[in-house]
Structure 1
């Protein structure tokens, strides 16, 4: 599956109103794709809304990208925005698309840049290691960027920050994570944020 990950930076105290616009945008008659998640940032860069949508093919994704780029009111909350970024991704090929449900409410979203030529070795390492890692706490989605700097983004839901920290420590202690050989292909450019689901998010 193909994905769009949009980051909407909003004016102070406008998250709820912006979310109403986002819901109308993704439910419009001309809209394509499926809303998977809509979260607000809680730790890290603040005043951000993260919108994740899934698409059956690249044509659908690009059609939605053009709709936003050509709109005078993207996501029906343009007047509330101080910044807008939209990025295209493909899911790791063996992973099933996430299904709506309650997995959080704490969502850690990590983005790692990869060295030149490092994407396929990264995919191979993750494919080998992720089943054991998922036994401790599941990775909801991992996807690699189709534009910009070579990188991949992954989502880790947890019931609490403490649960998240304990799971990561346990995975390292058991030796199942990080994937063997995986870090060899990463640069030092890594980002992590904590997000919480908004009222319209299918992923809770």
Structure 2
């Protein structure tokens, strides 16, 4: 059965990240799902943390979502939170499961809103190019949204910010990227560089 993923984005008060991490770790241990990544934004929309969790199926994800929606202290961070977003995702076809480990000092989280009807062409385009692209640098996961605006989100680890620019330039120069399905993207795009926190299995 295909895994399900939640990407939670928590906007927090400035300087509260260390305290937040302690509460978030305890909160997630009491719930469903497997923690994969917990990052703090370093370049992009600041004072944000991103948490990626994996679930066995839709039912498990929904049970944990209900817990988050009804919790008085979601992610153990109520006193620090200014905004909480919880998004549901499925992996692209043939995407291997995420394996925790040490892959880079920064992770880029990119999201694109798709044009109507763009999901299947995106799968096809990525399927053609992904082997070439991941030969240049690894991909953590590529996901498509199960709720909200039709969109995709992908997460890439890099040694540092310079490596991120170098590897992307290398992949474009080699013709390994972007996929031809990029024509199905709208101008609504976002990207941020995130640093793993102490509780992140992906680092």
TM over 0.5: yes
Q: Once the 2 structures are TM-superposed, how far is the Cα of residue 104 of structure 1 from its aligned partner?
A: 1.0
What stretches of structure 2 of length at least 5 have no aligned partner? none
| Cα distance in 1, alignment partners of residues 123 and 78 from structure 2 | 36
Q: Once the 2 structures are TM-superposed, how far is the Cα of residue 128 of structure 1 from its aligned partner?
A: 1.1
Query: 4+ runs of 1 displaced by more than 2 Å?
Result: none
> Residue 156 in 1 paired to residue 156 in 2?
yes
| Cα distance in 2, alignment partners of residues 44 and 164 from structure 1 | 14
Match of 2:20 in 1: 18
SS class of match (1:129): helix
Q: Once the 2 structures are TM-superposed, how far is the Cα of residue 176 of structure 1 from its aligned partner?
A: 1.1
Q: Once the 2 structures are TM-superposed, how far is the Cα of residue 105 of structure 1 from its aligned partner?
A: 1.1
Equivalences, count: 201
Q: Once the 2 structures are TM-superposed, how far is the Cα of residue 168 of structure 1 from its aligned partner?
A: 0.6
SS class of match (2:79): helix
Match of 2:33 in 1: 33
> Residue 3 in 1 paired to residue 5 in 2?
yes
What pairs with 1:20-169 in structure 2 (closer than 5 Å)? 20-28=22-30, 31-169=31-169
Match of 2:187 in 1: 188
Q: Once the 2 structures are TM-superposed, how far is the Cα of residue 159 of structure 1 from its aligned partner?
A: 0.3
Q: Once the 2 structures are TM-superposed, how far is the Cα of residue 141 of structure 1 from its aligned partner?
A: 0.5
Q: Once the 2 structures are TM-superposed, how far is the Cα of residue 93 of structure 1 from its aligned partner?
A: 2.0
SS class of match (1:17): helix
TM-score by length of 1: 0.97
